[in-house]
Chains A and B, each alone.
Chain A
Amino acid sequence: VGSELHLSGSGQAELLQAFAEKGAALRTTVHGSSMFPLVRDGDVVVIAPVGEREVTVGEVVAFRHPVRGDLVIHRAVARSADGWLMRGDACAGPDGVVGAGDLLGRITRVERRGRPVRFGDGRSGAWVAGLSRRGWLGTGPGIVTVPARGVRFVLRRLTAEAGSQGVTAPPAPEERSASLERLLLALRPGKVDRSPLADVPAAGWIEVLDLADRHGVTPALHRNLQSAGVPIPPEIRQRLRETSLAVGARNARMLGHVGRLLKDLRAAGIDVAVLKGADLVERVYADVSLRPMADVDLLVRPADLQRASALLASKGYVPAAPAPGQEHQGAIEENLHVEPVRKPGGPLVELHYAIGTPARVGGVDMEGVWTRMARGQVGGAEALVLSPEDLLLHLCIHVAIHHGFDAKLVQLLDLPVVVDRLGDGIDWGTLDRRAREWGVHRGVALTFALAGRLLGPFAPPGKAPELEAGEGDPDPVSRSERLLFQAGARGVGSANLPVLFGPGSWREKAGLVIRRLFPSREEMAFTYRVPAGSPRIVLLYPRRMLDLWRHHGGTLRAVAGGEAEARRRLSVEKERTSLVDWMNGVPGGASSGASSIGSRRPAP
């Protein structure tokens, strides 16, 4: 059984060389920060063949790295007898000298969010090269590399678009791209006329699949296309199948571990409920390969939290280290779970003690949630699962209020799938009433509205919670859609940072800092898994400071230093925060300093 094809670094270079020999240009996404700020992570670049004209000092080129042999995009900063001295604008030192035989292309265009940007091209390149030679441009590590997958599928795009130089008109940022429209049409549940998909060329499918991969809906796309009998090119079908198989295998393994944990917790007399992914995969999608799971979310009662944590520790689960470059997902009270744990070969497990959001947790009647739970099977073990209404409420709260739509499309697809699967068991009146009781009605109504707009109507007419007129925001659905599809526009990971750098008073800002540094003893006890009355809590406040610094120190430094990228992310975060504040009924939006959400982590 094949996992996904991953080309080695040298393989990428060889492919690019082969295309260059055909005289065609490639268009692909780059990753890395070594050319920051002129070329950035997630930018789309066009790599044209070097051709007859010699590379001049200052040009940004793709080449085979002189030491590692992989494909790198950096600037030629000097000419020598043997070739060109290469260096990333933000790199501490040069890569070395690259001969003509290892030059694979020149960068002719860089696009960011669909628009072309200047990247030190033309005459300014020589000037940038001069600065770079002197090491005045920065000292960031890393290299800009073309991902293996990008090159792999560029090959196909190139074949389909031969002669067009591989450059397509970028979509207007405020409109849905053709790929997104196609993806949404293909994902719509039920009998939908999918005939517009019949004529999509392979290159078009590649873009749809890239988007689907980013949003966790590739297996669902696969299933829908199969069942609708949409004709698709064989290589696309193969990629769909490989992804489904990989998702299925990964989920199967995770669920196997969940099953073991559930049995162990049950044997210890601890009530445990399965939330989100694992429950959805088993109960709702009912097919292990249809919905990717990022981690495992288990809910225990606050009184059992410590025993459950100890049990996980005894099974080899240890606090999870953050992935390189990823924000630390440590113990933060806003996420309503304790520090995530993992064991070698096992999934990331988060033990939750409540559902809802910090600002609203008081409004969620957790005993009621426990009482209404149903019994289900997860990973071959018996488990408690949320009632259908609580499940829908939790999904909406999570995507809208907790993550402010810093989320994936699959999290919205969950809604129609839940309604389709558990429809008869859903009491819509109860759902609406409970959303109001918990104080989350706007967030829930907005999530239903967005899912309906993207994927078509799915709830019985007039039954789902609806946004009410005159609620103050002119078009929350469009705002939420923009936030969901903001490509590469991850926020700064905290709704409090915009407040800190906003126009509020110093008194407000100081109050916020103190609240974040010194949460109540009760919150500290939950967060760090110590008994509520323990004297150890006092000793944990320094660790709390360290955790906060680990989460947000980099961003704080960048924003304070005025880095353009950090500021852009800050503005996305402001937009997100103001929408969340609107959902929470906080007057005045983010700038009021009364933000009702706290640290936010990247969506699973």
Chain B
Amino acid sequence: MAANPTMDSVLAPSDDVVSRAIDGEIVIVPLDAGVGDADDLFTLNETGAAVWELLDGERPLADVVDEVGRRFDVPRAEVEADVLEFAADLLARGFAVEQP
């Protein structure tokens, strides 16, 4: 699995996690970590949640960057670096998978 995504990479949430909005936050819950074990949850901040919701297994990261930049009014270069870093983290943790 490529741990270093590029702007052409297409990512989708892994089948091994579920994400839900809980009390106003997006929480990512690994499925096989043990029911009732609340220690290994991951929440996303607002921008992280925006990126997560755009990882639909169809659009490349370049499109995600465009959309996030538009939504949060941030320079593209900055968004690009953040999205790549975030995507690499998601892949490394197994929360997302790269589509062929």
Contacts and interface: CB of A to CB of B under 8 A. Distances in A.
Contacts of A4: 38
B23 A289 contact: yes
Contact of B23 (A248, A250, A256, A259): A248
Q: Which of B32, B35, B39, B43 has the most CB of A within 10 A?
A: B35
A250 B18 contact: no
B92 interface: no
B27 A245 contact: yes
A109 interface: no
Interface string A240-255: 0100111011101111
Interface in A247-304: 248-250, 252-257, 259-260, 288-289
Contacts of B38: 1, 3-4, 245-246, 249-250
A248 B20 CA distance: 8
Interface in B1-35: 15, 17-23, 27, 29-35
Contact of B35 (A241, A254, A289): A254
Contact of A245 (B18, B19, B22): B22
B32 A249 contact: no
A347 B19 CA distance: 17
B36 interface: yes
B35 A3 contact: no
A257 B31 contact: yes
Contacts of B33: 253, 345
B36 A252 contact: no
A346 interface: yes
Contacts of A252: 18-20, 22, 27, 29
Nearest to A226: B23
A347 B23 contact: no
A345 B31 contact: yes
A257 B15 CA distance: 10
Nearest to A251: B20
A380 interface: yes
Nearest to B42: A1
Contact of A250 (B21, B36, B43): B36
Given A244-B22, A246-B38, A1 B43 contact: yes
Contact of B18 (A241, A246, A255, A346): A255
Contacts of A260: 15, 31
Contacts of B15: 260
B81 interface: no
Contacts of A244: 22-23
Given A244-B22, A245-B22, A256-B18, A1 B27 contact: yes
B41 interface: yes
Contact of B41 (A1, A241, A379): A1
Interface in A156-189: none
Contact of B22 (A3, A249, A255, A345): A249
Q: Which of A253, A254, A346, A379 has the most CB of B within 10 A?
A: A253
B36 to A, nearest CB: 5
A244 B22 CA distance: 8
Q: Which of A1, A244, A260, A380 has the most CB of B within 10 A?
A: A1
Contacts of A255: 18
Contacts of B36: 250
Given A1-B41, A245-B38, A249-B27, A288 B32 contact: no
Contacts of A3: 38-39, 41
A241 B23 contact: yes
B34 A345 contact: yes
Contacts of B19: 252
B42 to A, nearest CB: 7
Nearest to B36: A250
Q: Which of B27, B30, B42 has the most CB of A within 10 A?
A: B27
Contacts of B41: 1, 3, 245, 249
A90 B62 CA distance: 69
A489 B17 CA distance: 39
A241 B38 CA distance: 13
Contacts of A379: 18
B22 A248 contact: yes
Interface in B24-73: 27, 29-36, 38-39, 41-43
Nearest to A4: B38
B100 to A, nearest CB: 22
A253 B38 CA distance: 10
A257 B21 CA distance: 17
B27 to A, nearest CB: 6
A255 B17 CA distance: 11
Contacts of A250: 35-36, 38
Contact of B29 (A253, A347, A380): A253
A382 B15 CA distance: 16
Contacts of B20: 248, 252, 288
A260 B32 CA distance: 12
Contacts of A380: 18
Contacts of A254: 35
Interface of B: 15, 17-23, 27, 29-36, 38-39, 41-43
Interface of A: 1, 3-4, 241, 244-246, 248-250, 252-257, 259-260, 288-289, 344-347, 379-380
24 contacts: A1-B43, A3-B38, A3-B41, A244-B22, A244-B23, A245-B23, A245-B27, A245-B41, A248-B23, A250-B35, A252-B22, A253-B29, A255-B18, A256-B29, A256-B31, A257-B31, A259-B18, A260-B15, A288-B20, A288-B21, A289-B23, A344-B34, A345-B32, A346-B32
